[in-house]
Structure 1
Amino acid sequence: MASLQFHGGIDANIGYAGRDKDVGRVSQLFGLHLKLQMLSGLLPIPQLSQSLPQWLQLVLKQLARLHSLLVIVIPLHLGLLFSKTTLDALPTGDLEDITDALTMTVIYFFTAYACIYWCVRCRRLLSYLNYINREYRHHSLAGVSFVNCYTTYRWANNFTAIWVGACLTGVTFWGITPLVLGRHALPLHCWYPFDALANPIYPFVYAIQLYGQIIVGTSFSYGGYMFVTLSLLLLAQFDVLYCSLKNLDAHARLLSGESLQTLGALQCELLLDDANCELGQYAMLEEHATDLQCYTFKRLRPSPSLKSAAHSGLVECVRLHRFILKFAAELEQLFSPYCLCKSLQITVQLCLLVFVGVSGSREVVRVINQLQYLGLTLFELLMFTYCGEQLRRHSVRVGDAFFRGSWWLHAPQMRKDVLIFLANSRRAVEVTAGKFYVMDVNRLRSVITQAFSFLTLLQKLDAKKAATES
């Protein structure tokens, strides 16, 4: 947790303004995410309360491992069945059947990969989340203005709930289509070595396929909402750093016992001057004015000197920047392999979904199912690339934030430290796909271009086949 110096030498949970603008620190940033991860079967090592009996903890851990194994086996075996279906469709030359089966093959094999990947890396991910939860800064450095991270926490939770609901709705609608239409059929048309529609075994096969669709929805959503949540929190920490740097001189004046009148004038300057308030200086958070009367009354005595307070504030900003860089480096390490496979999967899936939608049958339910998958795939690609672009652009604005405050007037001995700090902060934070591509807007454009190039090729093959048959 941040040192007390970061909060002006007082309780880290202090409020800088009214409760409507300054909500208290959240004890667990990832409570909703961990619950969803456990329900999805992607947490084979659950974090259990030590108050539970030993035998119950052992039983729950074994059940969690069995659940994770089931979540891996079901999409893996469905991927193998669709591979056989694709191979059987190849001799017929029917591109609609081939691409339909190949689409589901890609979806289920990637689902199996995602489940295995997150189960294998769950211990490292849990350690990472605990580190963030312990070390993140809820407020900016004590000054005449502040930003509060609670807004980002609320946005991340709201987005997670909406995205999980959208993914589950899309895949579940596909799974219950035969029930809605009253047909004796399976939601997924794949090869089986037996008659899957026979009455004794049909309900069992249907239940497996329906659960497989639910696993697709949960694993599809998990990587997306975790990446977006971590990206939003990282952007918020950059905002905290930038507001702290802007308030560095004000922080020193506040702690050194400057008069309330002088602080009020400085507050108006930092909050109202156009040079200090340009559009887009913060990516996620909103800057508020500190309640100076309340805060100056509560701060500790004796007051440090102006120079020592400014230097201590810079040291805390350096520590925060170090935390941010470690946060970003681990984000890259965790998501780089996942983003590589996700990027390739989205490219192939976009091409196949559009081809099936354009060249396939025009049944209403089928069209709705295809549009749901297409919409979710496009939106997920946009999520990854937009967040990557925001991180890359926003991470190099340290210099802009630094020169909004007049720190150089009272701390000439800090110039060397400042130059080193600024030099180290010019390197942009980037999330890559396997170190090959940067996940940004350029990657969005290239994926869509590649997908529609493959689509054009498939359409030409389909037209050539139709011309040959006629």
Structure 2
Amino acid sequence: MDAVVGPLLPLMRLLGLWPCSGGSGRLPAAARCALTQLPVALMVAGSALKLCVDTPDQFEDVALCAFITNVVAAILVKAVMLVARGQRLRRLARLLADARARFPAHRSCTRGRYQALADRMERLFQVGGLVPLACWLSAPLVPQLTAAPGQGRGRPRQLPVPTWLPADLAASPTYQLVYTLQVLGCIGACASTVCADSLFVRLMLLIAAELQVLKENISSLRKTDSVRGGGYACRCRETVSFLASACKDCHDIVTPLSEKTTDEMHQLLVKIIRHHHMIMRMVSLLQEVMDVSIFILLFANMVNLCSSLFTAAILLQGGGSVVKVLKGLSPLPVVLYQTSLFCVFGHIITDKSGELTDAAVSCQWVDCDTRFKRSLLILMTVALKPLKITVGRVCTLSREMLLQVFHGSYALMNMFYYYHHKTK
């Protein structure tokens, strides 16, 4: 089961997002999660207080503060829901491990290809999280380090995340303490979102791999295997009875392989149907795990996308500098990248499940008995409804959902823009 989770399993156990094997950890997973997410929660609270109690004067600073509060709060919810749905996650991991053991692939490289893609995506998540994190945490120190001798003391001290406290944040040791807590919070938030996003994408890809294996196993159902002999494959016909009259050149060197009986064909089909039922259970468990957290994430990303575009439009209209406009648009790549990943990989499951009926039609069902045809018809009837991951009971992870997020962001931006001009 550990192999299903992937290389980030030790980090997830350290953060309390996954229990230690055999309960060998000194602290339970919930306690470790509470310790690692406490700085993240304090960062969300401080940023929200800054927005409500000590609202910044500059419009772009207000937008940045709201963006940080929104993003970090969504990450916190995602980590908490990952722990709360831990039993379902482990059940899903066990189902994936059982499917690998019980249902071998017709092609040995199918599962390995999808797993290699999941590993590449995990490395991409890590690089995409660590580089912005290092820049974000070091940015407040750059003015102090690059200032001329004797001028560094006159510069106001800055923090990685805007926050509010009743005490003076620029005074020592309050500044150092708050800075340390924010560093821990940013590291915890980055590690949590990398682990959660990587795990969700990995599980979606592994389920897509099982659907691909199922499709190949269905299409390879043959009562008589291809005729081979002496290292040569006859490309004329598959049945030896036809070779005697139409393939004299090949007839002398081919030897037919064993023909499957009716019971053997039906047992293979029963095994395929059980595999399909297991995959349906996997999708149901994954949907239960992703339901709340990904729905909140999609909604937060829609608001953040709207906020970034609205901020850039107001700054351009007001004659703002290019630096401020680029600062307002800086969250766009992260928002688009994260939203697109979940929608695209969720759509892969729907696409793969929709190909099962074509695979069932292409198998050699004509020469089988009535019992086989009846069971195959039941499988095709169930497979006619593609598998989908629906979050929040209304949002299906698909390419259409990605377009709906973009349309919703544009409509929300137009509403804010209209309200801004009416109240100006």
Q: TM-score range by the shorter chain?
A: 0.7 to 0.9
Residue 369 of structure 1: how far off its partner (Å) = 6.4
Quickly say closer, same or farther: Cα 1:210–1:137, change in 2 above 3 A: same
> 2: distance between equivalents of 1:264 and 1:316?
28
**Counterpart selection for 1:196 from 145, 169, 172:** 169
> 2: distance between equivalents of 1:376 and 1:211?
21
- Contact 1:147/1:243 (CA < 8 Å) preserved in 2? no
Match of 1:186 in 2: 159
- Contact 1:355/1:458 (CA < 8 Å) preserved in 2? yes
> What amino acid maps onto 1:330 in structure 2?
L
Match of 2:53 in 1: 88
Asked whether 1:76 is paired with 2:76, we answer no
Match of 1:167 in 2: 129
Quickly say closer, same or farther: Cα 1:362–1:120, change in 2 above 3 A: farther
Match of 1:4 in 2: none
User: Once structures 1 and 2 are overlaid, which stretch shifts more, 446-455 or 63-72?
Assistant: 63-72
SS in 2 for 1:221: helix
1:301-450 equivalences in 2 (<5 Å): 305-359=260-314, 362=321, 373-450=331-408
Match of 1:23 in 2: none
- Contact 1:337/1:434 (CA < 8 Å) preserved in 2? yes
**Counterpart selection for 1:156 from 118, 122, 144:** 118
Kindly provide the CA deviation profile for residues 392-432 of structure 1, in whole angstroms up to 9, marking residues without a partner as x.
Answer: 22212212112223232244541111111111111111111
Structure 1 unaligned segments of length 5 or more: list them: 1-25, 50-56, 270-292, 297-302
- Contact 2:291/2:392 (CA < 8 Å) preserved in 1? yes
Computing the radius of gyration over CA atoms, which structure comes out larger, 1 or 2? 2
Residue 111 of structure 1: how far off its partner (Å) = 2.2
Residue 370 of structure 1: how far off its partner (Å) = 5.5
> 2: distance between equivalents of 1:189 and 1:340?
26
Kindly provide the CA deviation profile for residues 344-403 of structure 1, in whole angstroms up to 9, marking residues without a partner as x.
Answer: 111111122333345456585x77765553212111110111122222222122121122
Match of 1:6 in 2: none
Residue 31 of structure 1: how far off its partner (Å) = 3.3
Asked whether 1:47 is paired with 2:21, we answer yes
Quickly say closer, same or farther: Cα 1:266–1:119, change in 2 above 3 A: farther
Kindly provide the CA deviation profile for residues 136-191 of structure 1, in whole angstroms up to 9, marking residues without a partner as x.
Answer: 3697555xx66531111111011112112202322332121112332632111221
> 1: distance between equivalents of 2:103 and 2:131?
37
> 1: distance between equivalents of 2:93 and 2:102?
15
Residue 445 of structure 1: how far off its partner (Å) = 1.2
Residue 46 of structure 1: how far off its partner (Å) = 1.8
Match of 1:37 in 2: 12
Asked whether 1:109 is paired with 2:78, we answer no
Residue 433 of structure 1: how far off its partner (Å) = 1.8
User: Once structures 1 and 2 are overlaid, which stretch shifts more, 421-430 or 456-465?
Assistant: 456-465
Quickly say closer, same or farther: Cα 1:141–1:202, change in 2 above 3 A: closer
Quickly say closer, same or farther: Cα 1:239–1:65, change in 2 above 3 A: closer
Residue 435 of structure 1: how far off its partner (Å) = 0.8
User: Once structures 1 and 2 are overlaid, which stretch shifts more, 74-83 or 378-387?
Assistant: 74-83
SS in 2 for 1:248: coil
Match of 1:132 in 2: 96
Quickly say closer, same or farther: Cα 1:93–1:382, change in 2 above 3 A: same
Residue 464 of structure 1: how far off its partner (Å) = 5.4
> 2: distance between equivalents of 1:209 and 1:312?
59
- Contact 1:41/1:68 (CA < 8 Å) preserved in 2? yes
> 2: distance between equivalents of 1:100 and 1:141?
50
- Contact 1:140/1:148 (CA < 8 Å) preserved in 2? no
Asked whether 1:100 is paired with 2:100, we answer no
- Contact 2:312/2:325 (CA < 8 Å) preserved in 1? yes
> 1: distance between equivalents of 2:345 and 2:6?
22
Quickly say closer, same or farther: Cα 1:27–1:167, change in 2 above 3 A: closer
Quickly say closer, same or farther: Cα 1:413–1:118, change in 2 above 3 A: closer
SS in 2 for 1:187: coil
> 1: distance between equivalents of 2:375 and 2:175?
71
Kindly provide the CA deviation profile for residues 184-234 of structure 1, in whole angstroms up to 9, marking residues without a partner as x.
Answer: 321112211111221222222111112222222223333322221111111
Match of 1:253 in 2: 224
- Contact 1:224/1:383 (CA < 8 Å) preserved in 2? no
Kindly provide the CA deviation profile for residues 48-87 of structure 1, in whole angstroms up to 9, marking residues without a partner as x.
Answer: 58xxxxxxx3xx3327554311222222222222222222
Match of 2:198 in 1: 225
Kindly provide the CA deviation profile for residues 281-306 of structure 1, in whole angstroms up to 9, marking residues without a partner as x.
Answer: xxxxxxxxxxxx9xx8xxxxxx7853
> 2: distance between equivalents of 1:342 and 1:131?
26
> What amino acid maps onto 1:237 in structure 2?
E
Runs (4+) off by over 6 Å: 266-269, 366-369
> 2: distance between equivalents of 1:246 and 1:39?
44
SS in 2 for 1:192: coil
- Contact 2:103/2:275 (CA < 8 Å) preserved in 1? no
> What amino acid maps onto 1:46 in structure 2?
C
> What amino acid maps onto 2:69 in structure 1?
T
> 2: distance between equivalents of 1:417 and 1:120?
39
> 1: distance between equivalents of 2:335 and 2:78?
15
- Contact 2:79/2:196 (CA < 8 Å) preserved in 1? no
- Contact 1:170/1:372 (CA < 8 Å) preserved in 2? no
Quickly say closer, same or farther: Cα 1:182–1:443, change in 2 above 3 A: same
Structure 2 unaligned segments of length 5 or more: list them: 146-156, 239-253
